[in-house]
Amino acid sequence: MLWYHIWILAIIQGITEFLPISSSAHLILPSQLLGWPDQGLTFDVAVHAGTLVAVMLYFRHDLMRMLSSLKLIRAGTYTQASIEEQQQLGLVFAVVLGTLPAGVLGLVLNELTWINTRSILVIASTTLLFGLLLGWADFKINKQPVEKHLPLNALTLKHVAMIGFSQALALIPGTSRSGITITSSLLLGYSRQASARFSFLLSMPLIAAAVLLKTWEWTQQQHPIAWDVLLTGFLISAVSAFICIRLFLHWIDKVGMLPFVIYRVLLAIVLFAVAFWGMS
């Protein structure tokens, strides 16, 4: 890859990993539309590790409280714990449970979806379909009184399972992992902030698993390592992801999901045009 390829792809990964517009689709498009070389497994590992560090750094205080709540299990003092500690422990279980469906299906179907769903037509279809669904979910929650919006600590076992299974749809490029989990949460009545924050918390185990899986696949190959490329991709994706998370959570209540819905619709129109142009 050329150096500007590295910078652009790392920024794309950092920004799109957490916005509801699909990072996998955007990383596929440069090679599909512009003829860029495939970035390869090692680069994927580096930029995904960058986004993982970014989200863990941003939610470091939340993670510390969640990890601290685990002592309630070891000490057997759950009933004597404060409400906040019980809620933090419940959030730990929610993240674990919500991760399982996508994690299991990802291991089983990863290769199948990788081979059969990377076409521009598939990406255009999922970009449009799930973009419109996101718009409908945001419209629905916006019509409800703010006091009826559910907070993050109102998560139930049923809702976590539903959000977790919806997350598995993100195996199809163009769906957007953050987009589908935010959509599901909004449809269940959770506030935009709660939906986004739970989506970001759910991303950590899956990104970590993806990094480990890709690292293992990379170790099976015999290729020289361009450490300067990997470090550059890691740092750029980490910085861009951190800034993206911060701005997204700051502006989400003010602007809602409409800008992302409009972007997805316009992108889908362009992709359909490219796909049908190529068929003609």
The sign of the torsion formed by the CA atoms of 184, 252, 131, 15 equals: negative
SS (H, E, C) 26-54: HHHHHHHHCCCCCCHHHHHHHHHHHHHHH
Alpha-carbon gap, residue 53 to 241, rounded angstroms: 9
Nearest to residue 56, comparing CAs of 234, 207, 179, 180? 207
Contacts with 93 (C-beta within 8 Å, 6 or more apart), sequence order: none
pLDDT for 224-248, tens place per residue?
Answer: 777 888 899 999 999 999 999 999 9
Looking at residue 194, its amino acid is A
The pLDDT tens digits along the chain (280 residues) read 788 888 999 999 899 989 998 877 677 777 767 777 766 667 888 898 999 999 999 999 999 999 988 887 766 665 667 778 888 889 999 999 999 988 888 777 666 555 555 678 888 899 999 999 999 999 999 999 999 999 999 999 999 999 999 998 888 888 899 999 999 999 999 999 999 999 999 999 988 988 887 777 777 776 677 788 889 999 999 999 999 999 999 999 999 999 999 999 998 998 888 888 766 6
Looking at residue 67, its amino acid is L
Q: What is the model's pTM?
A: 0.90
